[in-house]
Structure 1
Amino acid sequence: MTAYGLTEEQEMIASTVRSFVENEIYPHEDQVERTGEVPAEIADEIKRKTIELGFYACNFPESVGGAGLGHLDFALVERELGRGSMALTHFFGRPQNILMACEGDQIERYLTPAVRGERMDALAMTEPGAGSDIRSMACTAVRKDGDWVVNGTKHFISGAEHADFIIVFIATGEDATPKGPKKRITAFLVDRGTPGLTIRDGYKSVSHRGYKNMILEFDDCRLPDAQVLGDVDGGFEVMNTWLYATRITVAAMSVGRARRVFDYGLTYAAEREQFGQPIGKFQGVSFQLADMITEIDAADLLTLAAADRLDRNLPANREIASAKLYASEMLARVTDATLQIHGGMGLMDDYPIERFWRDARVERIWDGTSEIQRHIISRDLLRALGA
């Protein structure tokens, strides 16, 4: 048992995934960073080896063919995957848990193939004018001749270039409220190749090269009722049930990446000499190392504690927000300090430090900005006092 109380099995999960990342992901990172692409043969090899390892769709219950990992177990998996390139670890295969909302024929068409690794999914919510404000979605689905006719645009859609189908949240109506109109949202399952759907390249990002963001364009795209995931106008219920803990993923991956970055900084501080001694002996560097490892450990424990609350069916919204907020901002500080320790060489692409520095920036934005997390935390605190 560790200080936090991880079991021997949990320690084995973490070490197994860490070894996989070191042996199967690290060797390809330079190529992906250089080209911005993941060759199909490498993607297929990672997926195949993940399936053989028994970790593909490990976030799904055994009843549907997954490994049945709990929230804490899965946080350990994501933490170790965080050490590697997201463009490559994408093929380690963690389908969206929201697919557990599939019913009837949807189970064999979407859920089961996704768990087996036969079909890949992507998730689409964000629009050019609707990021964290989901209720301001402009992409709409309107009933016409027994179908849903979809028009609008989604952007920043990760993994859509590889997806066989996409889980799309679309406005299907509007309610008048004292605070103004609010959209009703429905989740749809949309197959690649559906007439009226165009998937095209998105924007060039400085973070996570090779892990692309795509743009989805719907032009009179017709979807039957069979493509509705959950209930019509029940998108928020589906979202809150199955996407509740996605922020833990960002927190956990931030911790894993920070530990990898820290190892570079620690090694460099021990080996690089100036004025006749390792730079790690200078207080300006040694104190930075002390602060970095303290923050990493704190973020790790905060993240595992939030995941543990979910496993114990305890309220965890504030704790998850705290973990995502602290871990993502911690990663920014650790990468920046590590770059500073490396000096001018830290900015050169001879070292991976500048890549880690660039990659860290997006963690404070996606899956809810730091400002949104602070709002969630403060609202939870104040509500308890009736404010």
Structure 2
Amino acid sequence: MQFLLNEEQILIQDTARRLAGDRIAPLAEHLDRGEGRDEFLANLKLLAENGFMALNVGAGYGGTEAGTVAFALAIEEVGRACASTGVTMSVTNMVAEVIQAVGSEEQRAAYLPKIADGTYPAAAFCLTESGAGSDPSSMRTKAVRDGNHYVLNGSKLYITSAEYAGIFVVWAVTDPDAPRGKGISCFLVEGDTPGLVIGKAEKKMGQTGSVTNEVHFQDCRIPATQMMGEANDGFRIAVGELAGGRIGIAALALGISRAAMEAAKAYVKERKQFGKAIADMQGIQWMIADRETELEAARLLILQAAHLKESGKPFAREASMAKLFSSEAAQRATYTALQLHGGAGYIREYPLERYARDARITTIYEGTSEIQRLIIAREVLKEI
């Protein structure tokens, strides 16, 4: 098996690392305090200009056409610098891939270049509702046909980037009499469409620089041509695209973990107790060894899932494995890194408490760890 990256993947990884270090990391603490929105949007534009908002989109639409492995590498580097920027980048790429995969040629030509070049600061994925989280087939948002239009009514919850998204991919029930999950369709709604109302921003535990809002559709009227794919086939689309999104969240979790452990390793080599650096103590070394082994395993799981997706092979099980393992490993890595800092890790002079808060959500969004276990078990048992 070949584990070496090709030249393009190395170039993308190096470019992401440079941009993350020069522009993104210095802003992370300010974003965490609710500051720096203009600078954050400028960084999103910079990422787009360098090809990072449409990494797996065809060059004909302005995309980088670099593939899923390069996407995972880039998300890891950006997430290592700032989780809020990383999740915005991940979701925007996911929306771009949905449009490329199931959109019409007119839809691709209209929206993909605006995502790729940063005309749209971000894009939003509107699936979750208050009563339809882990079970999106229970959604209640409706789209009713009215001549050559659809009228959307309902609300979505926890929508990343809603305040500055230029385009929304929205799922709604189009056939309420269909069997569960069979009467849902997928639509494209532009951010300035009348009736699309951005609700309150959530006050979150972590990743506070990435805005998360309720989104309401109040007699939101869109042309029927804004439906993506076939009518009543939207649930299948959502399930498929969530699998790809899990690779991004796994890579983000790995990036946060790397940042935490790098800080911890530097700290324990400097911190002295009982007359020597605590890095020389066996107990400390074992803590680091365990975490570093887990992060290497997470990296390999992510790259395997990314390679399968890029090769056009089934990857849902591997994506869930990568997301489950990486996000759970991130909880242990950030906890261990904070513990290695002792009391210093608990104060804001050091970034450890931010890493711990930022990592916590990775076990929840794009499918909870519990849902990943169900998916993995289902896929494994299919083979028997």
Decide: shared fold, TM above 0.5. yes
Give the AA of the match of 1:173.
D
Cα distance 1:270–1:62, how it changes in 2: closer, same or farther (>3 A)?
Answer: same
Q: Determine helix, strand or coil for the equivalent of 1:245.
A: helix
Relative to structure 2, which stretch is displaced further, 326-335 or 51-60? 51-60
- Corresponding residue number in structure 2 for 1:158: 160
Partner of 1:236: 235
Q: In 1, are the aligned partners of 2:250 and 2:322 still within 8 Å (CA)? A: yes
1:74-93 superposed matches below 5 A: 74-89=71-86, 90=88
Specify whether residues 182 and 102 from structure 1 end up closer, same or farther in structure 2 by C-alpha distance, changes over 3 A only: closer
Which residue matches 1:140? 142
Aligned to 1:72: 69
User: Using the alignment, how far apart are the partners of 2:368 and 2:89 within structure 1?
Assistant: 25
Select between 224-233 and 95-104 the one with higher mean Cα deviation. 95-104
Task: Give the 3 Å change call, closer, same or farther, for CA 53–149 of structure 1 in structure 2.
Answer: closer
Q: Structure 2: which 5+ runs fail to align?
A: none
Structure 1 window deviating more from structure 2 (328-337 vs 103-112): it is 103-112
Cα distance, 1:212–1:198 mapped onto 2, change above 3 Å: same
User: Relative to structure 1, is the Cα distance of residues 301 and 107 closer, same or farther in structure 2, using a 3 angstrom cutoff?
Assistant: closer
Closer, same or farther: CA 141–21 of 1 in aligned 2, 3 Å: same
Distance of aligned partners of 1:176 and 1:201 in 2 relative to their CA distance in 1, 3 Å threshold: closer
Work out whether residues 48 and 116 of structure 2, in 8 Å CA contact, stay in contact via their aligned partners in 1. no
**Contact 1:38–1:88, Cα closer than 8 Å, also in 2:** no
**Which whole-Å CA distance do the structure 1 matches of 2:288 and 2:335 have between them?**
12
Equivalent residue, structure 1, for 2:56: 59
Residues 269-289 of structure 1 show CA distances to partners (whole Å, capped at 9, x for unaligned) of: 111001101112222211101
Q: CA deviation at 1:191?
A: 1.9
Answer yes or no: is the 8 Å Cα contact 2:61–2:109 preserved in 1: no
Q: Letter of the 2:98 partner, please give it.
A: I
Cα-to-partner distance string for 1:9-30 (whole Å, 9 max, x where unaligned): 3223212211110111111122
Aligned residue type for 1:39: R
Distance 2:346 2:264 in 1: 13
Deviation at 1:176, TM superposition (A): 5.4
Q: Distance in 2 between matches of 1:53 and 1:199?
A: 29
Question: Where in structure 1 are there 5+ consecutive unaligned residues?
Answer: none
Distance 2:305 2:85 in 1: 27
User: Does the CA contact (< 8 Å) of 1:71 and 1:311 recur in 2?
Assistant: yes
Q: 1:175 touches 1:183 (CA, 8 Å); kept in 2?
A: no
1:71 Cα offset (Å): 1.4
1:94 aligned counterpart, secondary structure: helix
What residue in structure 1 maps to residue 37 of structure 2? 39
Partners of 2:197 and 2:49 in 1: how far apart?
34
- Give the match's secondary structure for 1:128: coil
CA separation of 1:83 and 1:373: change in aligned 2, threshold 3 A: same
Q: In the aligned structure 2, how far is the partner of 1:346 from the partner of 1:131?
A: 33
Contact 1:137–1:183, Cα closer than 8 Å, also in 2: no
1:261–1:173 distance in 2 versus 1, CA, 3 Å: same
Matches within 5 A, 1:249-288: 249-288=248-287
Which stretch of the first structure deviates more once superposed, 54-63 or 19-28? 54-63
In structure 2, how many angstroms separate the alpha carbons of the residues matched to 1:314 and 1:272? 48
Q: Alignment length, in residue pairs? A: 379
The superposition leaves residues 119-162 of structure 1 with CA deviations (integer Å, 9 ceiling, x where unpaired) of 24211000011002111001111223543222111010001111
2:56 and 2:78 map into 1 onto residues whose CA distance is 14
Partner-residue secondary structure (3-state), 1:68 = coil
Match of 1:207 in 2: 206
Shift of 1:47: 3.7
Shift of residue 361 of structure 1?
Answer: 0.7
Kindly indicate whether the alpha-carbon contact (under 8 Å) linking 2:338 and 2:345 is maintained by their aligned counterparts in 1.
Answer: yes
Aligned to 1:219, the other structure's residue is in SS state strand
Report the RMSD for the aligned CA atoms in angstroms: 2.1
**Structure 1 residue 356 and structure 2 residue 355: aligned?**
yes
Aligned-residue sequence identity (percent) comes to 37
- Paired with 1:44 and 1:370, the residues of 2 have a C-alpha distance of 31
Whole-Å separation in 2 of the counterparts to 1:26 and 1:57: 21
Distance 1:216 1:48, change over 3 A: closer
User: TM-score, normalised to structure 2's length?
Assistant: 0.92
- Separation of aligned partners in 2, 1:54 and 1:111: 12
Q: Find out whether 1:112 has 2:117 as its counterpart.
A: no
